[in-house]
Amino acid sequence: MNTTAMITQTKPEFLTESLIEVLNNEWKVLSLENGKNSYHQLECEIGRKYIKIWDYLVVDGERIRGRSCWMFVDKNTGACYKPASYKAPAKGIRFYIEQLAEQPEICDAYGSFLYLR
C-alpha cells in the first residue's frame, strides 16, 4: 500500500479494510480446517457517502459469479447499516465499525448479525 493512500484514508475506511482482512483470513482458514472447498470473501467499494461491502462466494479458489451487498458503513461516522438493497442501506444504525473491528467474532459470513438488533 502506498504511503499517500494511508495518510488520506479516514478512520472508518481503515477500520473497514482491517475488518475485511481479518474476516477473509478467518473464513478461509476455517474452511480449510473443516475440509470444505468453499468460503465467503469480502471486498469494499468506497462511494461518496458510504463504504459498501460486497460478499463473494469462492469455490475451489475461484469466485463464483455474482455478489451480494453485505453491509454499508458511513464514511464519516463509522455507523454500520444492513442493506435495504444493493444501492442503499436500511434505516437504523446496527453497529459502529469500531465495535466490529475490536470484536470481529460478532460478524458472520451471511451478515445475519445485522438483523438481530
pLDDT in tens, 95-109: 999 999 999 999 999
Helix residue ranges per DSSP H, 1-117 = 3-8, 11-33, 97-102
Q: What is the rounded CA–CA span in Å between residue 42 and residue 69?
A: 10
- Whether the model pTM is above 0.85: yes
* Average of per-residue pLDDT across 51-67: 91
Domain ranges of the chain: 10-115
**CA max distance for the chain:** 41
Best CA proximity match to 100, nearest among 18, 5, 28, 1: 18
The pLDDT, as a whole number, for residue 66 is 85
